Structure 1
């Protein structure tokens, strides 16, 4: 969505500042949209200034459009990762046919669009799918891609929309905040909240009633009768907080609540510091996240995919921008726990 002027009612929520473009007689909306779709404007200062107005702040609502198989994966314990959007930039898109074009796994669209929606824990968790953070994405050859091409301008490919896109920083898994939601957009434009995330139990509470059983039936391997779905896959990233120097597993409930993960409400004390932890390593000189491993093999995800990294690792694209490979554990170098501290 593009607005001009300082008196617009859009962006009244400071957590969701609107995308702003300085439109004028010699810079129309059509010209800005055309620039966003051209590699020639990746470094254009005007387009960069427009893109920078689409800020992510602590508590900004983020959304990732999913296929039914991806919904089932998140119900099982997948974390947010890869390409995503600010929810406010998609608010005008409620038609399932249009939303499914933003899916990342390259699967054919269905009559229902699904999404994961959560609030950002911090702006540092998100970056532009282009230079300088991800300079190699746009140069990857078509035969190695899944989903839409990456333009490198910071906007999603579209013939008539201007939608800023993001990736999780380094394509990392992000710990899922409290009250994240799995949604469905049905024909007619209705938004249905299917499940909401319960961090203390590490599972999903079903909110959709019998009216939406047909939608739930589209999710592979998911029983529409289960009122609570526990996550069976441990996440590859977690939040850790401290209170008076003592360390605890933590839960984020942005924008203002960061607490100890505890089953009883009385024990959910606010933490004084907060960090995200995940495994990292180098394999064949390429920095990777270690998503899972046993004594012999490790599943890796590239932090900064580019042609050289793909050539060195043989990593395969599993969804748009996400490249993973299996590697022998004894070939990993600088294998360590990365800790990214948030400022509270």
Structure 2
């Protein structure tokens, strides 16, 4: 399945930099792809069959001054970043602040960052390498640094999305995981004393760009609020999450969608796009269905109905329901919680990911120089540090249920 821009005949036009361009809406109006028949500064030459406008540019909605013929905003639209009006301090000043760790406590910067809000159902995005894509198809769960789709919808090419990569890898195709947030409590903003360890990590101990502590992505040109999953924990995969690809022409290609009942991914991409998976290690482009198997999971949803407990699934925006193969059994649960496992090793708070032959795979909940040195944890992607520990050395090992608001 592919979202392909069709500039002709849509009737949608956008005013950008004083000129009106035919356009295609992206992510329900969070961004636009602008088209031009003639060369325009900042536009790229990208001819496509059937299109009379070979020049194009992706822009965020905040960069356009008017939209002509677009659909009205829906209830699902996320709130944009809001900046207090000031005669002398504009966007450039704010962007400069966002790139300075010493400015993390600036009131204006904090107010802008606080305007980026996650709600239940917000579409989230995590940019992946080919290696990570293979991991998610095989059962990885959302974790680590991520972004609201609303804030990154204008980044649609591999070079543009490089600023969101967390592992330092690159390629001719960008991949991403997109899902709906279950609850705002599952996410944190990496600012404040609790996350100073992330800011202090030296280059030798990290992958990807540094964490600035301002809550914004390190970038020369973008002002993008970033989030992390709470304690860097895995989150349950909601129904209908998607793995997508972005080739050089900026098209969005949906590769797989998550089928909760089978705990696996259903292939959506047609033959003309399967070459995009050629660089993904160990993944067959021709395989119809990729089950994630029955391996132990670091977290899962549990729900109660009557006096019984069931495994549950988040089917947003509708809420939570029993995870069942038959439609008749997929009834709503009365309460839901995220179940995970906490432990302490050498005085460092950790998450237990899995257990093998008396050893525990741990992920640091609050990574920093001291915690990394104490545990010898290795960085697998930006902010995600894991290590093996003998089960006999681990203390405070406990299963924790984090309840969600009533379904």
Q: Which TM-score bucket, shorter chain as reference?
A: over 0.9
Aligned to 1:200, what secondary structure does the other structure show? Answer: helix
Per the normalisation by structure 1, the TM-score is: 0.95
TM-score, length basis structure 2: 0.81
| CA distance in 2: counterparts of 1:42 and 1:50, whole angstroms | 12
Which residue of the partner structure matches residue 147 of structure 1?
208
Query: Residue 337 of structure 2 contacts residue 404 of structure 2 at CA under 8 Å; is this kept in 1?
Result: yes
Match of 1:265 in 2: 327
How far does residue 253 in structure 1 lie from its aligned partner after superposition? 1.3
The answer to whether the 8 A contact 2:297-2:354 is kept is no
State the 1:23 CA deviation. 3.7
Equivalence for 1:224: 285
Bigger Rg, structure 1 or 2? 2
Map of 1:87 onto structure 2: 149
* Long gaps (5+) in structure 1: none
Q: Which runs of 5+ in 2 are unaligned?
A: 1-59
| C-alpha distance in structure 2 between counterparts of 1:95 and 1:67, whole Å | 13
Superimposed CA distance per residue, residues 17-54 of structure 1 (whole angstroms, 9 cap, x where no aligned partner): 11111243211100011110001211111111100110
Contact 1:83 1:168 (C-alpha < 8 Å) held by counterparts: yes
- Which whole-Å CA distance do the structure 1 matches of 2:85 and 2:302 have between them? 45
1:1-344 equivalences under 5 Å are: 3=62, 13-14=75-76, 16-107=78-169, 109-232=170-293, 233-344=295-406
Distance in 1 (CA, whole Å) between partners of 2:72 and 2:190 is 25
Distance 1:294 1:193 in 2: 35
C-alpha separation between the residues in 1 aligned to 2:72 and 2:155? 16
Instruction: Please list the CA deviations of residues 122-177 of structure 1 after superposition, one character each: whole Å capped at 9, or x if unmatched.
Output: 00000012214423110111110111110000000000110000000000000100
Higher relative CO (CA 8 A, sep ≥ 6), structure 1 or 2?
1
How many pairs are equivalent?
341
- On the 8 A contact 1:56/1:123 being kept in 2, the answer is yes
SS at match of 1:195: strand
Bigger shift: residues 95-104 or 265-274? 95-104
**Equivalents in 2 of 1:274, 1:148: separation in Å?**
36
Q: CA deviation at 1:10?
A: 9.6
Cα deviation, residue 15, structure 1: 5.2
For residues 3 and 224 of structure 1, what CA distance do their matches in structure 2 show?
37
RMSD of equivalent CA atoms: 1.8
Separation in 2 of the partners of 1:235 and 1:57? 25
8 A contact 1:15–1:58 mirrored in 2: no
Q: Is the Cα–Cα contact under 8 Å of residues 130 and 138 in structure 1 kept in the other structure?
A: no
